[in-house]
């Protein structure tokens, strides 16, 4: 099994291996290798398309957590210029699971906030697997308040399994750090655009996910709890994760249909890590469009719209009063 491909992608991996082999054989064969290769490449594209056209929620969740999936810094590199990372919450520490800083988007200054996962074990330990502690959220808030003061738009990238569930995180009041961000972000006097680029893990994701536009990359997920967590609580079996993922509707399409997100950003064939540059181009376009759409609004209109949107979340019925 090719580790760069997920279980359901193995037929693609096999075809790709064949293509590689043919290239290696090269010219000393009698048949027209070039023609054969392009035939197989076409076949691989069609196969990929057909597999990716009917992905289920659990498969999408595996893509969202793919070890090769581009992270916040990969997008920052490709989308922005002049990035200057800003560190620390000014009170306790610098949390490297949640990064931020100033940069330019096509020349316009913006504040970027994003979860950051690690590529290897060493970096993952440093980044705590993208699970922020309270000081991470407090750094994010500090940077958002800084952006607000200078009327700089805020762009957030969400990619976390969740806020860190540890003893010291509780001692420093993880709950309050998240709650404070929800509170402040709902009234920040500057536009906020949030994009889920990988894993949108519950409160730890939402804590930088309150804004004027919420977008999702095509194969990212957003959920109140991980499929595994949901399965072990409600089904009492962790192996029901696939069912839990389906039931919760964690994919971009489900969430857009439910009205919980605004926009889906297309990923290249085979998902973002197959062509990071293309994924970045699509993401950049969506960010530019979003910021442009806010220019027509006064600050008052922007904030009122944000408030109406936040307070309208929910599905319930209203019974007629009796009598």
Partner 1 sequence: MSPSWFEKLMPSSIRTDSSTKRGVPEGLWTKCPSCNAVLYRAELERNLDVCPKCNYHMRIFGRKRLAIFLDEDATEEIGANLVPYDKLKFKDSKKYKDRLLQAQKNTGEKDALIALKGKVKGVPLVAVAFDFRFMGGSMGSVVGERFLRAATLAMEEGLPFVCFSASGGARMQEALFSLMQMAKTSAVLTRLAKKRIPYISVLTDPTMGGVSASFAMLGDVHIAEPKALVGFAGPRVIEQTVHEKLPEGFQRSEFLLEHGAIDMVVDRRDLRDRIASLVLMLANKPAVQKV
Give the nearest distance from C-beta 57 to partner 1 in angstroms. 11
Give the nearest distance from C-beta 244 to partner 1 in angstroms. 7
Stretch of 47-55, 85-93, 119-127, 235-243 lying at the interface with partner 1 (CB under 8 A): 235-243
Written as six digits, the tokens of 303 are 């904030």
323 lines the binding site for partner 1 (CB under 8 A): no
Give the nearest distance from C-beta 270 to partner 1 in angstroms. 26
Stretch 47-86 residues interacting with partner 1 (CB under 8 A): none
What distance lies between CA 43 and its chain's CA centroid?
30
DSSP β-ladder status, 221-223 and 154-160: unpaired
Written as six digits, the tokens of 117 are 């996962």
Stretch of 2-10, 254-262, 280-288, 289-297 lying at the interface with partner 1 (CB under 8 A): 254-262
CA 139, 141, 142, 146 torsion-angle sign: positive
What is the pattern of x (binds partner 1, CB under 8 A) and - over residues 141-180?
----------------------xxxxx-xxxxxxxx-xxx
Stretch 202-231 residues interacting with partner 1 (CB under 8 A): 202-203, 206-207, 209-210, 222-225, 230
Q: Do 81 and 103 form a contact (C-beta atoms < 8 A)?
A: yes
Q: Do 223 and 251 form a contact (C-beta atoms < 8 A)?
A: no
103 lines the binding site for partner 1 (CB under 8 A): no
186 lines the binding site for partner 1 (CB under 8 A): yes
Distance, in Å, from the CA atom of 223 to the CA atom of 218, rounded to the nearest integer, reads 15
Whose CA is closest to 161, among 125, 216, 202? 202
Q: Do 222 and 255 form a contact (C-beta atoms < 8 A)?
A: yes
Q: Do 211 and 154 form a contact (C-beta atoms < 8 A)?
A: yes
Interface with partner 1 by CB under 8 A: which residues?
163-167, 169-176, 178-180, 182-184, 186-187, 202-203, 206-207, 209-210, 222-225, 230, 233-236, 240, 243-244, 247-250, 255, 258, 260, 307, 310-311, 313-321
């Amino acid at each position: 099994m090719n580790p760069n491909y997920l279980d359901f992608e193995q037929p693609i991996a096999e075809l790709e291996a064949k293509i590689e082999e043919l290239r290696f054989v090269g010219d000393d064969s009698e048949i027209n290798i070039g023609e054969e290769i392009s035939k197989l490449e076409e076949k691989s594209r069609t196969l990929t398309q057909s597999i990716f056209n009917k992905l289920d929620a659990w498969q999408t969740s595996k893509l969202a957590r793919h070890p090769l999936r581009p992270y916040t810094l990969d997008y920052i590199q490709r989308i922005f210029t002049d990035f200057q990372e800003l560190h620390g919450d000014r009170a306790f520490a610098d949390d490297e699971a949640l990064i931020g800083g100033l940069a330019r988007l096509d020349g316009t200054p913006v504040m970027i906030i994003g979860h950051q996962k690690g590529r290897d074990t060493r970096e993952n330990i440093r980044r705590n697997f993208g699970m922020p502690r309270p000081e991470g959220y407090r750094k994010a808030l500090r940077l958002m308040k800084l952006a607000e003061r200078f009327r700089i738009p805020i762009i957030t990238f969400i990619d976390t399994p969740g806020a860190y569930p540890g003893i010291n995180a509780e001692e420093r009041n993880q709950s309050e750090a998240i709650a404070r961000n929800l509170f402040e972000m709902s009234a920040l006097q500057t536009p906020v655009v949030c994009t889920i680029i990988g894993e949108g893990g519950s409160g730890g994701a939402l804590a930088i996910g309150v804004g004027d536009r919420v977008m999702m990359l095509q194969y990212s997920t957003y959920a109140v709890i991980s499929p595994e967590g949901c399965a072990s609580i409600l089904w009492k079996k962790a192996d029901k994760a696939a069912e839990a993922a389906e039931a919760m509707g964690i994919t971009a399409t489900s969430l857009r249909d439910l009205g919980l997100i605004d926009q889906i950003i297309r990923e290249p064939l085979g998902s973002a890590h197959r062509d990071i540059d293309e994924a970045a181009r699509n993401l950049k376009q969506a960010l530019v469009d979003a910021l442009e759409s806010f220019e027509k609004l006064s600050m008052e209109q922007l904030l009122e719209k944000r408030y109406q949107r936040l307070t309208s979340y929910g599905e319930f019925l209203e019974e007629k009063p009796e009598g």
